Amino acid sequence: MNDVRWFAPNPYTTLVVAELRRRGLSIALEGSEPARLALAMSATVAEPAWRYARRQGCPLVLYIWDLHPEATRSGVADPVWWIAGRFLRLPRPVGGFPSRRGYFSRLRFMAERADAVWVPSEMTQATVQSRFGLRADRVPYCYDSDRFGPAPGLREQPATLLTVSRLQPYKNHAATLRAAARLGPEVQVRLIGRGPAFSSLEQLAKGLGVRCRIDLEATDAEVTAAYHAAQVVVCPSRFEGFGLTPVEAVASGTAVAASDIPPHREFVGGTARLFPPDDDDALVSAVSAALDDPPPDDGVVRGLTINAAAERFAGYLAPLLR
């Protein structure tokens, strides 16, 4: 029997598995063989993990990265039941979550009955408490410390402002383009990510006369090289559950200008230039200052390496596996 059946939506959420195995844990990433515990490394895989745990009669841990404020700011979960191997939900005529009601209602039902709920940040810990009325353990994850680290070399010219994230409106990439337009032709912008905001960002860049490259596809090596080539990594998001991009930037030795939101303060506040979200003047000032900053102190993110996260996970798993 395995110790853990690990449900992961992507390779990133398996980064700590090899180190946990080296520490003696047997972990299965697929299959239906019995395990002593089921761990869902994202809300997106909570349902298959729930079904597995019910079949095996084993403990369940849910890792919730975030609860988006627009989707859960008001309302409460619809009543949900688990009957004969399926979820049944009674939609509220009024007072439910404003969007994705079935998804968040089922997630709350599973989280309430899980043996533990883990979250990456104080921000998500607070939102799980306020939106779901549930206690969660803060268990920060990691960045890919095997891949991201300082590297010598020349930065691109003109100076590049880089962002690596989904092209979603709440990520606020338009603010970076507006800042670049004000900073003048001595800066350019590179965005790496995919999402529905692609066309609008491309049009905005053209309208502002900003030299902007948007990469919808990039290999791991290309992303790593982009961090090393950029002069400043700009993270203007209005909301994050963890905030991976500024962490990767600091680890890569690249200056950071980031919105002053809780996860950014929590994990890179000691070295990033912070600015209030949607304050273009403050963003321009932060980027201008960051352009002259020395490489950030990567000691700020030392507690977010793969080994550090594996140690945390092992400590929280131990009592559940007794």
pLDDT in tens, 3-14: 999 999 999 999
Alpha carbon distances (Å) from 11 to 112, 116, 129: 27, 23, 28
Residue 108's CATH number: 3.40.50.2000
Tokens 């053209």 correspond to 206
- Are residues 28 and 39 in contact, defined by beta-carbon separation less than 8 angstroms? no
Total domain count for the chain?
A: 2
Same domain, 134 and 212: no
- In a domain? residue 21: yes
Residue 68 has pLDDT above 90, yes or no: no
Same domain, 131 and 175: no
Region 275-279: what's the mean pLDDT?
Answer: 94
Same domain, 31 and 124: yes
Residue 132 structure tokens? 């779901």
Same domain, 33 and 165: no
pLDDT of residue 233: 98
- In a domain? residue 149: no
pLDDT tens sequence across 196-229 = 999 999 999 999 999 999 999 999 999 999 999 9
pLDDT confidence tier of residue 292, bands split at 50, 70 and 90: very high
Residue 301 has pLDDT above 90, yes or no: yes
- In a domain? residue 147: no
Same domain, 165 and 296: yes
Same domain, 170 and 124: no
Helices (H) and strands (E) in the chain, counts: 12, 14
Same domain, 109 and 221: no
pLDDT confidence tier of residue 15, bands split at 50, 70 and 90: very high
Same domain, 126 and 166: no
- In a domain? residue 90: yes
Residue 156 has pLDDT above 90, yes or no: no
Residue 236 has pLDDT above 80, yes or no: yes
- In a domain? residue 153: no
Same domain, 264 and 284: yes
d(CA 157, CA 146): 28
Q: What is the mean pLDDT of the chain?
A: 95
| Nearest CA-CA partner of 41 in 158, 119, 98 | 119
| pTM of the model as a whole | 0.94
Same domain, 309 and 225: no
Same domain, 206 and 126: no
191 Cβ partners below 8 Å, 6+ apart? 162, 163, 167, 173, 176, 201, 212, 213, 214, 215
Residue 58 structure tokens? 């084993």
Range of the domain at 164: 159-302
- Are residues 213 and 188 in contact, defined by beta-carbon separation less than 8 angstroms? yes
